[in-house]
Structure 1
Amino acid sequence: MNPPPPISKSDHHVMMQTMKDHYLPESSSPIGYSPSQTLYTPSPNVTRPSSPSKLLPYTRPNSPSSKPSVQVVERHPQPWSKVHWTRDWSWVMYTVNLGTGAVSLCVSSIPYPFRGQHAIGSLFLILNIIIMAFNMSMSTLRLVRHPKAFRDSFYDEVEGIWFPVLPIAWSSILIGIIIYGIPYCGPWLVEACYVAYWVYFLVSAASGLVVQCTVRSLPRHLVHVGPSECLEVFPLMLLGSIGGLLAPHLAEIDPSRALTVVIFSYIMQGLGFFMGYLKLSLWMLRHITLARAPSKTLLTYAIACGPPGFTALACINLGNAALKIFPETNFMAGFDGGSMDPHLVAQVFVMIGVWWSLLLMGMCCWVLFIHSRWFFLTLNEMRQLGFMAKFEMSWWAMTFPLSGFISTCGRFGEYFPSRAFGVVNIILTCFVACMWCVNITGTTTLLWNGILPGAPVEE
């Protein structure tokens, strides 16, 4: 069979021009994408061809020829009397509690004790309680004065997914009370925290059910999917961190109840971690298939560091609790005809916990590595446009989600002979403290100017 004759350059040019005129619409931007848009969104005015042979050619939305421009959102101060404070006080305001609790947790995890460490952590715990009381008051007024707005907040595809930050904020206070209060208050506070542990479990389960029955029951565009999707299981996941801190104190009063807390905390930690990453897989799908441009939600990507960081911390703390609780309760002593040694079982739990934590730390490092570039890009835009033009409540994501990873570094700094983990813990603790100062300044400035910040959203 003879090969086809070669095509000349002129014939090739005519063929390509004919295909372009036949397949492409009059608009030069395929599938309704314009360079001024920050997201790759199909236009409703463009009809996709039904024939596979007539598919429109694809142009990368983030190519140099179609690089989206940075849009500046102007914020105009207004008098307090014109601001609907109670109606528009959204769930995202509880992120201030998360950032404050993160500083308290990170300070307690520093492996090298120093003078004033307990005082600084206690100060942020008290401040966290005060902020929580204020936020709860505003949410209560919103429920009483604007019940429709309160109900609609659960169905809003932007604000609704941030509802779980309320129980997460409660967990930050409970963790602070266990760390800073129990050593100085005695058994009565241990009993109170034990009751609060189970109440928090019920509240966390209820919050997840509320999210499933409200905003999750509505269709959402993939463009609105981000790491905040895993906030739904964060409250249940944090039961592992709470139980790991509470169980050693409870073992001094009732080892059997402490064993129940340890086992249940392992179960809830597994639920939160694996379900959280199933939900984060949707974010990875969005990140791979859609255009990513610098926006106000980029800093929320640090939330993805929360599941591995807090799971690593819970595995270490629960393993330490097992060393004391398992021998006192003869845990697993009935296996293999009673030949199982509870001390050996506890040591196995500790070693598996440390091994698994090291693997999870690698996952955290990857999230931080890819997130650092976006963080510096945001700083560069802030330098060009001004602090208040780029500050969003998403900046609070640079605090609490990182505290699990930071605290785990502190634990490794205590147990490992190398000081590298301790140094990393101190550096990142200072970073979280600096971010808290930046965020509290930005949030206060917005409120002072009559600008009520809402949940970050892609535009």
Structure 2
Amino acid sequence: MSHLASTSRAPSPYSDDYGLQRPARSSFSPSPTLTTDYPPRHNPSVPSTLDLLPHQPHRAPDDATPPSDNAPRHVSTLARRIHGWSWQAFPIGMGTGAVYVTLSGLKNHSSALTTVETVFYFLNMILFVLNSTTLLIQALVYPRQAWRLVQDPVKGIFVPLIVLSFATIIIGTINYAVPSGQIEPGFIYALFWVYVTFAVLVCFPMLMIWFNKPHDLTTFTPAWAFLVFPLMLVGVVAFNVLRVMDPSNPRTLGVLFVGYFFQGLGFFVTIFYICIYMIRSVPPPSSHAMPLFGSTGFLDGHQANGAFVACGPPGFTALALINLGARAREM
């Protein structure tokens, strides 16, 4: 009966019922005559662990004040906001810029509509300055956090959006500042080359950082193409710049060719992103089958918004080619 009682007990994680091999306990007890090689604790010739620590002043037991080194530091709300700011804030400015860029394409323009577009234009500039200044302060105060955001496989793809926000500001300046005579076409020509330089200096280092790290194709989204979007948008900025420049000016030829070149280069690279997206959207033969080239079916819930990014490269390329061709006929 004692044997049955012992076998009916639930297995204990500290028993041998889980297959653990435990050594038998030894009944050996050290003899009082045995000595060890360790020096006694009171030996002053051998330093103890406490002696290796930095000296701390003695505190009375009733002293409840913690030492200054361990005292909790108060972090202000502004510091928390700056530390938590990321490049994902720039799509807000891009959406604001898309409002007046879309409204500017309407043929029948009233004064009220122009006022609304101008309000969104200045709001876009405020958001651009706010995001850029905050990220600059973050890079100066928290450099490790800023570098971590650039290297992040998810948040790092939003770094080139600062260039796209700058592109919407250039287009807004062309639509509202040049017709009123506040900005000269020569300044717009200089802004075009500033944008091209800005796009190259941002996109190529980010592509090097991103492609030097492994990525799982089963988590692919078309939003990864943001790394190439600033180069592709050069053609869109180019035909807007050509609208305010004199067609007989020889400098327009350089703007036209550079717009064609970067528009084709950007679209060529984004084609591969779209192909990977289509392969990833193909569901596997069965739920137990190995995904072929990262094919998993439809995107996950938090990735579904990125599917609309796949519509951008073909649409922007068609828009740029049509308008660049129209400007080329005027030269």
Asked whether the two chains share a fold, i.e. TM above 0.5, the reply is yes
In the alignment, the residues of structure 2 paired with residue 82 and residue 256 of structure 1 have an alpha-carbon distance, to the nearest angstrom, of: 50
> Does 2:255 match 1:255?
no
- With over 3 angstroms needed to count, the CA separation of the structure-2 counterparts of 1:170 and 1:300, relative to structure 1, is same
Q: Which runs of 5+ in 2 are unaligned?
A: 1-74, 283-294
- With over 3 angstroms needed to count, the CA separation of the structure-2 counterparts of 1:290 and 1:249, relative to structure 1, is same
Query: Identity of paired residues, percent?
Result: 28
- 1:82 shift after superposition: 9.1
Q: Check conservation: 2:160, 2:230, Cα contact below 8 A.
A: yes
Aligned length: 245
> Does 2:309 match 1:315?
no
- Larger helix percent: 1
- 1:80 shift after superposition: 7.7
RCO comparison, higher one (Cα < 8 Å, 6+): 1
Cα offsets for 1:382-424 (capped at 9, x unmatched): xxxxxxxxxxxxxxxxxxxxxxxxxxxxxxxxxxxxxxxxxxx
Cα offsets for 1:153-174 (capped at 9, x unmatched): 1211111111111111111111
Corresponding position of 1:208: 203
In the alignment, the residues of structure 2 paired with residue 271 and residue 122 of structure 1 have an alpha-carbon distance, to the nearest angstrom, of: 33
Q: How does 1:218-367 map to 2 (within 5 A)?
A: 218-251=213-246, 255-288=249-282, 289-292=295-298, 294-325=300-331
Corresponding position of 1:137: 133
Q: Which amino acid aligns with 1:210?
A: P
In the alignment, the residues of structure 2 paired with residue 228 and residue 294 of structure 1 have an alpha-carbon distance, to the nearest angstrom, of: 13
Higher mean C-alpha displacement, 86-95 vs 110-119: 110-119
Larger radius of gyration: 2
> Does 2:189 match 1:194?
yes
Aligned CA RMSD, in angstroms, stands at 2.0
Q: How does 1:35-434 map to 2 (within 5 A)?
A: 81=77, 84-185=80-181, 188-251=183-246, 255-288=249-282, 289-292=295-298, 294-325=300-331
- 1:117 shift after superposition: 2.4
- With over 3 angstroms needed to count, the CA separation of the structure-2 counterparts of 1:219 and 1:255, relative to structure 1, is same
**Structure 2-normalised TM-score?**
0.70
In the alignment, the residues of structure 2 paired with residue 276 and residue 222 of structure 1 have an alpha-carbon distance, to the nearest angstrom, of: 16
Q: Check conservation: 1:107, 1:120, Cα contact below 8 A.
A: no
Which secondary structure state, in structure 2, belongs to the residue aligned with residue 219 of structure 1? coil
Which secondary structure state, in structure 2, belongs to the residue aligned with residue 214 of structure 1? helix
Which secondary structure state, in structure 1, belongs to the residue aligned with residue 244 of structure 2? helix
Which secondary structure state, in structure 1, belongs to the residue aligned with residue 302 of structure 2? coil
Q: Which amino acid aligns with 2:251?
A: R
- With over 3 angstroms needed to count, the CA separation of the structure-2 counterparts of 1:112 and 1:316, relative to structure 1, is farther
- 1:85 shift after superposition: 1.3
Q: Check conservation: 2:121, 2:169, Cα contact below 8 A.
A: yes
Q: Which amino acid aligns with 2:212?
A: S
- 1:229 shift after superposition: 1.6
Q: Which amino acid aligns with 1:236?
A: L
In the alignment, the residues of structure 1 paired with residue 226 and residue 239 of structure 2 have an alpha-carbon distance, to the nearest angstrom, of: 21
Q: Which amino acid aligns with 2:276?
A: L
Cα offsets for 1:181-218 (capped at 9, x unmatched): 111126x5311111111111111111111112212210
Q: Which amino acid aligns with 2:230?
A: P
